[in-house]
Amino acid sequence: MKIPYPGSEVKVVDAIQLCRDHDGYQHLAERMTEAQDNLPESWVFDGCSHWFDTYDGFPVYKVCFFHDCAYLAGGTEAQRLEADALLLAGLARMTGSVGFPMATFTGVRIGGDAAWKKSFSWGYGHQPEK
């Protein structure tokens, strides 16, 4: 299964499988599975929310996908920091640079807080208890 392109509808069950299949994201598959009853059946992956989906020829949206999965599921503030740190590390590994990953990390730390209540905020996928 391939990481979806920005603008694609993604089923939560498929996102869980993608997390299981990619090194370093198995714990995220577990968190999403635990939260699944309170998540929508699917969502539209927006890529690197209000940011670049490619950078210097690199398809950075592939790293952003896993970050979006974490933000969909939500959790503790420590889990948010872990998700943001994984984004930073993944972008640095993919691009071989520091500036773009650091700018992205800073942006998600400031703009991704749940208090903003945006479509990309921490825990954005949670629905009222069913």
Q: Are 125 and 34 in contact (CB under 8 A)?
A: no
DSSP type of residue 50: T
Query: Where is 103: in which H helix or E strand?
Result: helix 99-111
Q: pTM for the full model?
A: 0.94
Q: What percent of the chain has pLDDT over 70?
A: 97
Residue 126 pLDDT grade (very low, low, confident, very high; cuts 50, 70, 90) = confident
Tokens of 86: 């994984």
Q: With CA atoms as reference, report the closest residue to 52 among 62, 44, 37, 39.
A: 62
Taking only the tens place, the pLDDT of each residue in 89-98 is 999 999 999 9
* Buried-state track 90-121, b at ≥16 Cβ within 10 A, e below 16: bbbebbeeeebbeebbeebeeebeeeeeeebb
Alpha-carbon gap, residue 128 to 96, rounded angstroms: 41
